[in-house]
């Protein structure tokens, strides 16, 4: 009799287990990044995100200064939507939605293809400064960090982010290894890797010279 009851309950148990599994992805970082500042790689970082059987090339934005990683490495991560209820952020490292909305605002600024490299560096350091919750004036580029973080907080407090947070995901490592990342939503712009831009520019110049000859 008990076996029969367990068999009847099995489908319900499987259905209940599916959401938990769906909220975990596998992050693989291939070691690529945009540039270097003060000895640290500035995002976005290149790699892939595996969800179920789907592997997607992905650009990751780091919101975690405390933990260090190396290239060509990966880890499992809990997935939290940026638009989740407040209680869902308990599984993240910062534990509150406001921080991630502020970080997303700064990342959205980084996605502007018209940015200079110097501006992207400022924005990344502002995110890292925010992740530490510091007020230490010895931190790298303190003045601009505080300025950008205040602008981000003002945008969140006013409810005027300037972009849709729908589809944005927070990837929090499971276990002791890995960095916490944010992946922008599908409506966000994708920054062009500078190496590819320079390569295409060089190719275009070569073709123009060839035609002139």
CA torsion through residues 92, 93, 98, 100, sign: negative
* 89 inside domain: yes
Q: What is the pLDDT of residue 19?
A: 39
* 16 inside domain: no
* 195 inside domain: yes
Residue 122 pLDDT > 80: yes
Between residues 88 and 200, which one has the greater pLDDT?
88
Confidence category of residue 184, pLDDT binned at 50, 70, 90: very high
* 9 inside domain: no
* Model-wide pTM > 0.85: no
Q: Residue 141: CB partners within 8 Å, gap ≥ 6?
A: 122, 125
Distance CA 170, CA 182 (A): 5
Q: What is the pLDDT of residue 133?
A: 86
Structural domain total, the chain: 1
* 13 inside domain: no
């Amino acid at each position: 009799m008990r076996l029969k009851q367990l068999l009847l309950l099995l489908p319900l148990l499987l259905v209940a287990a599916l959401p938990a599994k769906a909220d975990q992805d596998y992050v693989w970082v291939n070691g690529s990044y945009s540039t270097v500042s003060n000895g640290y790689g500035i995002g976005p970082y290149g790699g892939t995100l595996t969800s179920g059987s789907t592997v997607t090339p992905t650009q990751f934005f780091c919101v975690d200064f405390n933990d260090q990683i190396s290239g060509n490495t990966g880890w499992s991560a809990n997935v939290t939507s940026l638009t989740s209820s407040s209680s869902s952020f308990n599984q993240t490292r910062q534990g509150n939605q406001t921080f991630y909305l502020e970080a997303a605002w700064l990342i959205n600024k980084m996605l502007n293809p018209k940015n200079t490299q110097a501006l992207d560096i400022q924005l990344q350091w502002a995110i890292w400064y925010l992740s530490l919750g510091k007020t230490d004036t010895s931190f790298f580029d303190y003045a601009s960090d505080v300025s950008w973080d205040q602008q981000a907080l003002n945008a969140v407090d006013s409810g005027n982010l300037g972009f849709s947070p729908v589809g944005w995901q927070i990837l929090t490592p499971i276990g002791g290894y890995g960095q916490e990342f944010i992946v922008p939503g599908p409506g966000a712009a994708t920054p062009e890797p500078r190496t590819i831009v320079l390569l295409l520019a060089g190719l275009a110049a070569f073709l123009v010279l060839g035609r002139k000859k």
